[in-house]
Amino acid sequence: MRVAVIGAGGMLGTDLMAVLGAEGVGLTHADVEVASRESVEAALPAEVDWVINTAAFHDVDGCEADPRRAFEVNALGALNVAATAAARGAGVVFLSTDYVFDGADPVPYGEDAAVAPLNVYGVSKVAGELAVRAATPRHLVVRSAYLFGKRRSGKGWNVVSGVVERARRGEPLTVATDLVFSPTYTADLARRIVMLLGHKVTGTVHVTNAGACTRLEFTRAVLEEAGLDAAIKQVSAAELPWRARRPLRSALASPLQERLGLPPLPGWRDGVRRYLKEELTS
């Protein structure tokens, strides 16, 4: 199998390239601009079985401020990649998000739940999903959430390293107590995506570490696992100075993988522990 990974310098892209080894062809942002069809056509290898598109404009407040760019990257970019892959006889994997849901349902969202995004990022990702489905039946839309992992292109910020760095600087943390989600270690996500391709799964699938937590539980777990302490100011999501609305309860479940008999990924806290071990020892 020959698999092109777009966004190969990012968190998920880095882990996908590690899992794929010699089967992976990595394309960084320096190699390809997904918003440009010409750039995608020029960069994608002629002979490829799958293209995994991890490129995104996923700064949620940034998307709210710049909807045009959000749609250029997340929707038009998804179409450019999927249509080019299809023209080459390749399948496409598109990364999407729990933010396609409105978070009003207390039960974790399965793959068949109705989408109802609350912000521009979520709308642009729904548009990207639709574009991919329209471009080729040979697609896998993978919705995941709250990613943390190592980036090949420098360390960069993520939801775990952000907590660790602030705690190390002795800064207090302001944390919402009412946001529930399913955090996910990109190393686990990458392994599962490649496994799903091996099982020839197509359609839409939810992939997260097992379980769900509040942002407060997540922050406390990160501090404990890193052996750090920090003052935490507890607030509600409504009190945070965010430009974009966020879903309150966006935990994901995967009835599809249960039906296929695939085991759940390790729990989210286990993912945090393994990520910190890797990050802090490197």
Ligand X SMILES: NC(=O)c1ccc[n+]([C@@H]2O[C@H](COP(=O)([O-])OP(=O)(O)OC[C@H]3O[C@@H](n4cnc5c(N)ncnc54)[C@H](OP(=O)(O)O)[C@@H]3O)[C@@H](O)[C@H]2O)c1
Which residues of this protein are in contact with ligand X, per CB under 6 A?
7, 9-13, 29, 32-35, 54-58, 73, 77, 95, 97, 144-147, 151, 153
By beta-carbon proximity to ligand X, the closer residue of 159 and 229 is 159
CB of 217 to ligand X, least distance (A): 17
Contact status, residue 245 vs residue 119, Cβ threshold 8 Å? yes
By beta-carbon proximity to ligand X, the closer residue of 182 and 257 is 182
CB of 262 to ligand X, least distance (A): 20
By beta-carbon proximity to ligand X, the closer residue of 53 and 257 is 53
CB of 5 to ligand X, least distance (A): 10
CB of 225 to ligand X, least distance (A): 18
CA distance 136 to 188: 27
99 is catalytic: no
Strands 139-144 and 173-176: unpaired
By beta-carbon proximity to ligand X, the closer residue of 146 and 218 is 146
Measure the N-to-C terminal CA separation of the chain; round to a whole number of Å: 30
- Per the residue annotation, which of 99, 109, 121, 146 is the catalytic one? 121
For residues 21-50, b (16+ Cβ closer than 10 Å) or e, as one string? eeebbbbbeeebbbbebebbeebbeeebbb
**Token pair 């299809």 in the structure block, residue:** 86
Q: Please give the structure tokens belonging to residue 158.
A: 């993520």
Q: Which residues are catalytic?
A: 121
